């Protein structure tokens, strides 16, 4: 349509503004739904505008790919359980990286085909290529290798989060030198391609970038995967922005830049919440890290106090204030709706109930917030770490559901602990602590939790959903 072609820049501008409003909306749970709607409208404008401004598009191929993608995406969105949301997000990031690589490859091949028909083609190192500007070559260089790294790194992150056997962590003194060698060789091949347009160098750069993405993330420990997922989100945005320059698509540049910058900011916030630097997270494994493996035989047995759901129900129903700390165990047990029912029952009996969220709880940024929102827990009841920590000393009961490392007092009290200095939810300061876990097994970071052996702590073993439902029954049975 001529109208859309004539005003394409205006449509792209509208879309860009909507994408900015999307990020603003997603900054808070109350406005997140509106933010998502802005994003969907902006993407629809971007797709339709690009479709109509394209020169001689192969309609059946474009529409067919869009329909196939929509079917797969809708099916996945409807069936994915919340426990698999982190690896699903990582997998989506990998597709963005792969798209960037394929676009770069297509642009290079298309350019070389034009060169065969162009009398102005250049001859360097025996390779023909069209007179593509150095700026475009640089954009292809950056977009392709960032996309390739994002693709394989995200695939590994998916495998790690999904506990796939092929996503094995690597370690050893050889890792760092191999990473450096691959990166330097990749970068050198990319520079040679940029300077000469040599296709052999381009393929070498792309292949090495794919290998580097895997080797780069493989040493990272499981406890750092939430930060990795956030950073890969940023990388996917920068890859998209780089390819946007190649395609001369302003909308893609803006959208990619927004995703890239917001992902980088989120990664910084999460690292700050863990008292870690991004360099330590991404290269700590290769450098040997700070992880300590404790042999149970070297330590004296530690005693913990166990209780039942009935005991927990009695304590909570007689409390004035209760703080619930959700963790991955709540997601694994799909207990969010049962937790919401428990909270509502306690509120009906005059108990003040709030939820405390740590920035890196779960397996991805905002994992616990999404779970609680799914159960329609009121936003005003959900407090971040900085908002709730000062209230723990005056709290009667803290109920920890499957969280581990984010409530471990060793982060504050034990200088020898690998997580020492990491800000935590100070649940140990409450008058009574109750912890729901399947067993005394360590958390994702592989560390024992001193909170479990606290004199004020009562351990309740079992599936999170079943235990919470039993607590609710116990409170009802007490006649309160």
CB 468 within 8 A of CB 342: yes
The residue among 398, 414, 400, 411 whose CA lies nearest residue 445 is: 411
CB 445 within 8 A of CB 419: yes
Distance (Å, whole) CA 385 – CA 372:
16
The residue among 199, 205, 175 whose CA lies nearest residue 187 is: 205
310 in active site = no
Residues 6+ apart with CB under 8 A from 289: 219, 221, 418
Distance (Å, whole) CA 433 – CA 451:
9
The residue among 268, 282, 277 whose CA lies nearest residue 157 is: 282
Burial of 33 (C-beta count, 10 Å sphere; 0-12/13-18/19+): exposed
- Choose the catalytic residue: 405, 448, 450, 470: 405
- HSE-CB at 42 with a 13 A cutoff on CA atoms is 22
Residues 6+ apart with CB under 8 A from 95: none
Gyration radius of the chain's alpha carbons = 26
- HSE-CB at 385 with a 13 A cutoff on CA atoms is 19
Q: b/e string for 191-203 if b means 16 or more Cβ within 10 A?
A: ebbbebbbbebbe
Three-state secondary structure call for residue 54: coil
Q: Give residue 106's Cα distance to chain centre.
A: 29
The tokens describing 304, both together, are 């913990």
Distance (Å, whole) CA 161 – CA 159:
6
Cβ neighbours around 187 below 10 Å, total? 16
- Scanning 248-400, the segments in alpha helix (DSSP H) are 250-273, 278-283, 309-317, 328-332, 336-348, 367-374, 385-388
**Number of helices and strands (H, E) in the chain?**
18, 8
Residues 6+ apart with CB under 8 A from 17: none
Active site residues: 405
């Amino acid at each position: 349509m001529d109208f859309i072609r004539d005003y394409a820049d205006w449509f792209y501008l509208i879309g860009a503004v909507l994408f900015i409003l999307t990020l603003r909306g997603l900054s808070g749970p109350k406005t997140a739904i509106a933010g998502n709607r802005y994003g969907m409208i902006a993407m629809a404008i971007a797709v339709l505008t690009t479709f109509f401004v394209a020169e001689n598009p192969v309609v059946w191929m474009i529409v067919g790919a869009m329909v196939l993608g929509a079917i797969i995406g809708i099916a996945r969105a409807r069936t994915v359980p919340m426990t698999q949301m982190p690896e699903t997000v990582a997998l989506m990031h990998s597709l963005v990286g792969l798209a960037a690589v394929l676009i770069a490859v297509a642009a290079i091949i298309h350019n070389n085909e034009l060169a065969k028909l162009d009398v102005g083609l250049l001859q360097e190192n025996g390779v023909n290529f069209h007179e593509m500007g150095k700026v475009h070559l640089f954009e292809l260089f950056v977009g392709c290798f960032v996309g390739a790294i994002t693709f394989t790194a995200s695939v590994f992150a998916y495998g790690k989060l999904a506990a796939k056997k092929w996503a094995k962590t690597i370690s050893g003194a050889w890792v760092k030198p191999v990473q450096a060698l691959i990166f330097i060789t990749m970068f050198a091949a990319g520079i040679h391609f940029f300077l000469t347009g040599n296709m052999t160098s381009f393929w070498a750069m792309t292949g090495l970038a794919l290998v580097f993405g895997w080797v780069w993330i493989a040493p990272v420990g499981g406890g750092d995967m939430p930060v990795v997922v956030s950073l890969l989100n940023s990388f996917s945005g920068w890859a998209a922005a780089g390819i946007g320059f190649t395609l001369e698509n302003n909308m893609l540049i803006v959208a990619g830049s927004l995703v890239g910058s917001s992902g980088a900011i989120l990664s910084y916030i999460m690292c700050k919440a863990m008292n870690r630097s991004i360099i330590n997270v991404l290269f700590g494994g290769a450098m040997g890290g700070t992880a300590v493996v404790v042999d149970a035989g070297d330590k004296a047995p530690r005693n913990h106090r166990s209780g039942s759901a009935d005991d927990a129900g009695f304590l909570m129903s007689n409390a004035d204030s209760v703080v619930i700390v959700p963790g991955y165990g709540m997601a694994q047990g799909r207990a969010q709706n049962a937790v919401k029912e428990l909270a509502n029952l306690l509120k009906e009996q005059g108990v003040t109930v709030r939820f405390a969220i740590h920035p890196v709880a779960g397996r991805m940024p905002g994992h616990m917030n999404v779970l609680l929102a799914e159960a329609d827990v009121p936003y005003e009841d959900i407090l971040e770490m900085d908002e709730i920590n000062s209230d723990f000393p005056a709290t009667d009961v803290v109920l920890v559901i499957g969280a581990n490392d984010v409530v471990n007092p060793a982060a504050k009290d034990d200088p020898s602990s690998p997580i020492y200095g990491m800000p935590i939810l100070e649940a140990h300061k409450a008058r009574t602590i109750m912890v729901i876990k399947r067993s005394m097994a360590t958390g994702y970071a592989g560390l024992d939790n001193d909170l479990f052996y606290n004199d004020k702590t009562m351990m309740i073993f079992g599936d999170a959903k079943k235990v919470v439902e039993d607590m609710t029954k116990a409170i009802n049975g007490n006649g309160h």
